[in-house]
Amino acid sequence: MSLLRVFIVSDSVGETGELVAKAAISQYLNTEQNAVLKRFPYIDSIEHLQEITKLAEGQRAVIVYTLVSKELRHFVERETARRGIKAIDLMGPLLDALEEELHSAPIGEAGLVRKLDDDYFKKVEAIEFAVKYDDGRDPRGILLADIVLVGVSRTSKTPLSQYLAHKRLKVANVPLVPEVDPPDELFDVDPKKCFGLVISPEKLNNIRKERLIALGLNDDANYAKLDRIHEEIVHFRKVVDRIGCETLDVTNRAVEETANLILGKLQK
């Protein structure tokens, strides 16, 4: 069996073209071991394409290309036809169909899917970080975080951490209770990325009572008593004063509002 040569030509990495080529080649028994695939990534000029098509003609190679630029695609189409080279355009027909369907021209920027993938993985990483360092589980996360949230129980630290994680920010949160000393790392963190969450005692009293009822417990437990709540808030203020961080009142704010407030302060 003669050797099959396939040139993968792309304005990005060339991963998509190679995967499609391999998938097609695998449909022919024993062809894979007689096929040579060569990538030509980051092609952005007609000069590059001239060299590649000339090389393909000499080696009798098939060209598989993924190019978003119409100019480059049309050049490959004309040049391979002139040289008698088999060429498969993986990107062009779909781009043209979408342009017609959406009545909008494509951006024409190479590598956008990789940028989107990077964005996705950063979001996943941030979400996993928020879970790992939720509720003070591991104080080492405090120094690794982009944002550190501190507050008494039921001040929306966890949902706020997850919301900010979807903005690709790594968030650690630490609960404050008078009987437990705050982790030392909390006082080593940059105060500008630390935010104390406070809530009115009356609002917190209602939230904690509802929480106890939802758990099937008696709502007159010490956890929900106003005296206990005042004690916790006094302790909270001592800690945030020592950290030197900003305090945000979340009494009548939705998680999204508090998150936007934090994001605005970080941007400043």
- Residues 148, 173 contacting (CB under 8 angstroms): yes
Q: Is 161 annotated as a binding residue?
A: no
Rounded CA separation 170/258 (Å): 16
Q: Is 154 annotated as a binding residue?
A: yes
Q: Is 155 annotated as a binding residue?
A: yes
Q: Is 80 annotated as a binding residue?
A: no
Q: Is 78 annotated as a binding residue?
A: no
Rounded CA separation 249/198 (Å): 5
- Could you give the residue ranges of the DSSP H alpha helices within the chain? 15-25, 46-59, 70-83, 92-102, 112-132, 140-144, 157-165, 201-214, 226-243, 255-267
**CA-wise closest residue to 17 among 6, 2, 30:** 6
Pairing of strands 4-10, 62-66: parallel
Q: Is 157 annotated as a binding residue?
A: yes
For the annotated binding site, the residues are 151-158
For the annotated binding site for ADP, the residues are 151-158
